[in-house]
Amino acid sequence: MSAATAQRTQETPVPPAPPTSAVERVLKARSLGIVLALVVLVAVTAAANPLFVSGQSLRDIALSTAILAILAVGQTIVIITRSIDLSVGSVLGLSAYAAGSLLQAAPGTPIVVAIGLAMLVGAACGLVNAVLVRFGGVPALVVTLGTLYIYRGIAFFWAGGQQINADEMPGNYLGFGTATVLGVPVLVLIAAVVLVVAGIVLGRYRAGRDLYAIGSNPDAAVLAGISVGRRLLAAFVVSGALAGLAGALYAARFGTVDAAAGTGYELNVVAAAVVGGVVVTGGSGTVWGAALGALLLTVINSALPVLRIDQFWQQAIVGALILLAISTDRVLTTRLAAQLRRRNSHGR
């Protein structure tokens, strides 16, 4: 290596590390708050109805959380880059119907093939989102809001008003949706694997650090030599593929699949990520927090009917949690920026 090359290499900006120590403390405090809220909510609901903590009830909560957590992981990856994917619910429905249709037409199809098809459909949808955002110059919010309806329309056109019932699905696939390993549902184990892999990639590998750098400061990321377009494409494709995986697991769990599957999931997915500490302006957050947020929302949706609270208030509470999380992040960001300015002024 020549001296000039070595000098250019030394002068190349280094992407910033994901969260600073101050932000990490905030995220830990957020996670602790979620855990405390979960404990209080479960205790109050169990006092009103002890069956809420029965084995079957906890199993249902775990299965619902698994599907939502997988979606939240993909959403977190996209939000970290300062984007958003509102089409995940529709992608889940389209992917679930694709897997269900394959199994209905060819009952002997291996489970892995059906799941692979669902993930391929989801990845294709994510790629379309990414291309429109990257090369169309359209904000991700607008693009994915449009594709939310487009993908849902495709699903309705494909289904033609029909649905795939459980008796038309292979028994081994339905059994997969309820199977357990050492008492732990297989769907939960799959979600755990997704969570661990995503957490390791985001926290320890260059690809993950690049996503944080893009969300923190896109212009600086370009100067640092990061391929912003390629990373953005990858983030949306991963989000779509995980939505496809969630669709396959949805079909396995519920058995009955129609074009409306996954309707309304997008609000809960975004809420899970934001409540879990993923900042909507990008550059901060973890998949671990998003998974905790998914668990909190699932418990809320399960507990409120037990407490005989109207469905309207369930949706209102989710919306309020989103606003509270965003407001909290805004206040904390402003305070951290003020502290940094004071520190820099004192250092001069």
Per-residue DSSP letter, 282: S
CA atoms within 13 A on the CB side of 125: 37
Q: Domain 18-337 falls in which CATH fold? A: ABC transporter involved in vitamin B12 uptake, BtuC (1.10.3470)
pLDDT at 130: 95
Return the residue matching tokens 């098809």: 117
- 139 phi/psi in degrees, rounded to 5: -55, 145
pLDDT per residue rounded down to tens, the chain (348 residues)? 444 444 444 444 444 444 445 555 556 666 777 888 888 888 988 988 888 888 888 899 999 999 999 999 999 999 999 999 999 999 999 999 999 999 988 888 899 999 999 999 999 999 999 999 988 888 999 999 999 999 999 999 998 888 888 888 888 888 888 888 988 999 999 999 999 999 999 988 998 899 999 988 888 888 888 888 899 999 999 999 999 999 999 999 998 898 899 898 998 899 899 888 888 888 888 899 899 999 988 998 888 888 888 777 777 877 777 777 777 666 666 665 566 566 656 655
Compute the Cα dihedral for 197, 198, 201, 204 and give only its sign. Answer: negative
Asked if residues 290 and 75 have their Cβ atoms less than 8 Å apart, the reply is: yes
- 309 phi/psi in degrees, rounded to 5: -100, 135
Compute the Cα dihedral for 272, 274, 277, 283 and give only its sign. Answer: positive
- Supply the pTM of this predicted model: 0.85
DSSP letter string, 104-147: HH-TT--HHHHHHHHHHHHHHHHHHHHHHHHHH---HHHHHHHH
Helix or strand (DSSP H, E) at 172: helix 171-178
Beta strands in 153-312 (DSSP E): 180-181, 184-185
pLDDT at 342: 66
Pairing of strands 184-185, 180-181: antiparallel
pLDDT at 333: 61
* Residue 309: exposure state from Cβ atoms within 10 A (0-12, 13-18, ≥19): middle
- For the chain, domain boundaries: 18-337
